[in-house]
């Protein structure tokens, strides 16, 4: 494998339940991208949303290890990184790029938006409120607290970048997105940007359903003077879909290692089937992750989603 002095790839699951085959396929790809480029491979447990934390982090790590994946350093808990998240928001606030938002989701959906704005884009309702209007709004929404939004600088063009899988990405305007929710939880876009930079991650491999969030994250990277493309690499990989064509979920039957094991399917067989779906093995081949790393070529990665049909 090539030698690289610095840099890392990562896999960052949310502990909202056991990893299913789609999660495991993405984790395998993240591991392959990192290991075949000489990077370290890191794990971050994205446990900021306490309402969705099912306490499955340790089981997730066990499943990754059973599949044959290894990682460098101890897994990082995102919930332990609050000081860095707060410091990033303070840095943006000091630059005049943060404002309070008092809108509910219903308010945003009901408000008129710019003609070319995507559905659900924030229309800027609270962007220019006066001090008196903000004070009145705080009283009005009690006991809720306001969210914090990024004041996207006027004239900001959406970042363009080249994705290792999707190719050149050209996106439209970026709205004033949330940095911290009204319940105090730091938003995904801010947390991943700050955490990836702190962990030395310069290669982000994840499902292609997350590609639309990338321009917001690149903008934050630049506003916070953190590494961004082309110094940072993105690869958004195809999802695994269930029989109905929707994203794979528990409704699709035995889709986790524990469920498959209970039905007599070993982790080795799961790895074999995932490898076959990536054109890295023939159906039924017994393979190891080390062998897959020797065969892996990102340029030959299948570009379409995998439809997983129950046995």
**Residue-wise pLDDT tens digits, 133-192:** 999 999 999 999 999 999 999 888 888 999 999 999 987 789 999 999 999 999 999 999
Distances (CA, A) of 188 to 19, 33, 214: 19, 23, 11
Q: Is the pLDDT of residue 19 over 70?
A: yes
Binned at pLDDT 50, 70 and 90, residue 211 comes out as very high
- Give tens-digit pLDDT for 213-223: 999 999 999 99
Was 299 annotated as part of a binding site?
A: no
What are the beta bridge partners of residue 77?
45
Was 216 annotated as part of a binding site?
A: no
Q: Which two tokens stand for residue 232?
A: 């940072």
Was 101 annotated as part of a binding site?
A: yes
What is the C-alpha to C-alpha distance for residues 139 and 52, in angstroms, rounded to an integer? 29
pTM, entire model: 0.92
Residue pair 293/32 in contact by the 8 Å Cβ criterion: yes
Was 206 annotated as part of a binding site?
A: yes
What is the C-alpha to C-alpha distance for residues 37 and 203, in angstroms, rounded to an integer? 10
Was 247 annotated as part of a binding site?
A: no
Was 10 annotated as part of a binding site?
A: yes
Was 74 annotated as part of a binding site?
A: no
Residue pair 267/66 in contact by the 8 Å Cβ criterion: yes
According to DSSP, the β-strands at 240-241 and 306-307 are parallel
Was 103 annotated as part of a binding site?
A: yes
- Give tens-digit pLDDT for 53-85: 878 999 999 999 999 999 999 999 999 999 999
pLDDT score, position 243: 87
Residue located via tokens 């020797």: 294
Spatial neighbors of 138 by CB under 8 A, at least 6 apart, are 100, 102, 145, 146
Was 16 annotated as part of a binding site?
A: no
Was 122 annotated as part of a binding site?
A: yes
């Amino acid at each position: 494998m090539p030698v690289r002095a610095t840099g890392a790839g990562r896999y960052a699951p949310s502990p909202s339940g056991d990893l299913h085959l789609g999660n495991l396929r993405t984790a395998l790809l993240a591991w392959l991208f990192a290991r075949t480029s000489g990077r370290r491979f890191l794990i971050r447990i994205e446990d900021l949303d306490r309402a969705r934390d099912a306490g499955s982090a340790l089981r997730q790590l066990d499943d990754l290890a059973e599949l044959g994946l290894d990682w460098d350093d101890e897994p990082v808990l995102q919930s332990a990184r609050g000081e860095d998240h707060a410091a990033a928001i303070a840095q943006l606030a000091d630059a005049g790029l943060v404002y309070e938002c008092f809108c509910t989701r219903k308010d945003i959906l009901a408000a008129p938006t710019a003609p070319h704005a995507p559905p659900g884009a924030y229309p800027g309702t609270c962007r220019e409120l006066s001090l008196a209007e903000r004070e009145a709004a705080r009283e009005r929404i009690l006991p809720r607290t306001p969210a914090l939004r990024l004041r996207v600088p006027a004239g900001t063009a959406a970042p363009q970048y080249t994705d290792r899988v999707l190719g050149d990405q050209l996106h439209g305007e970026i709205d004033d997105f949330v940095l911290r929710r009204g319940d105090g939880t730091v938003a995904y876009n801010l947390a991943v940007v700050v955490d990836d930079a702190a962990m030395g991650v310069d290669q982000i491999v994840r499902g292609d359903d997350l590609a639309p969030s990338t321009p917001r994250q690149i903008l934050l990277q630049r506003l916070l003077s953190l590494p961004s493309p082309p110094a940072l690499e993105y690869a958004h990989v195809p999802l695994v879909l269930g029989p109905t064509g929707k994203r794979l979920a528990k409704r699709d039957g035995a889709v986790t290692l524990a469920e498959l094991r209970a039905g007599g399917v070993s982790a080795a067989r799961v790895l074999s089937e995932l490898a076959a779906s990536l054109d890295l093995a023939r159906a039924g081949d017994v393979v190891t992750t080390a062998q897959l790393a020797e065969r892996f070529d990102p340029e030959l990665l299948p570009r379409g989603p995998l439809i997983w049909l129950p046995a």
